[in-house]
Structure formats: structure tokens, C-alpha cells
């Protein structure tokens, strides 16, 4: 039996976790794009690390 606690989901904080995952994905994408722009002559290395 799963108990609900005052409007939260069955586990508790999955709404907050979704925001944290989305924020983390955004920041990592931003960092990857910034890195790729800075190392234009070695961009193949950045892409190789991203695909690993």
C-alpha cells in the first residue's frame, strides 16, 4: 500500500527531481557548447568525449 503525504507523489519529491535533472541537462549542454566554441581547431576531441 502506497501512502500519499499532503499532495506529494507516492515517493515524495519527483517534481523537484525533474527540475534538477532539467537544470543539470541545460547546464551541461551549455558547458559543452561553450567548450566546442573555444576549441574550434580540436572540436573533434570534444565530440569524441561527448560520444564516449
Round to whole Å and give the CA distance between 15 and 13.
5
pLDDT, tens only, 7-39: 555 555 667 888 899 999 999 989 888 887 888
Give the pLDDT band of residue 49 (cuts 50, 70, 90).
Answer: confident
pLDDT bin (cut points 50, 70, 90) of residue 2 is low
pLDDT at residue 41 is higher than 70: yes
pLDDT for res 42:
82
Half-sphere exposure in the Cβ direction for 48 (13 Å, CA): 4
Amino acid at each position: 500500500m502506497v501512502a500519499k503525504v499532503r499532495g506529494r507523489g507516492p515517493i515524495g519529491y519527483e517534481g523537484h527531481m525533474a527540475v534538477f535533472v532539467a537544470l543539470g541537462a541545460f547546464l551541461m549542454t551549455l558547458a559543452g557548447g561553450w567548450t566546442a566554441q573555444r576549441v574550434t581547431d580540436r572540436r573533434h576531441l570534444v565530440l569524441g568525449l561527448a560520444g564516449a
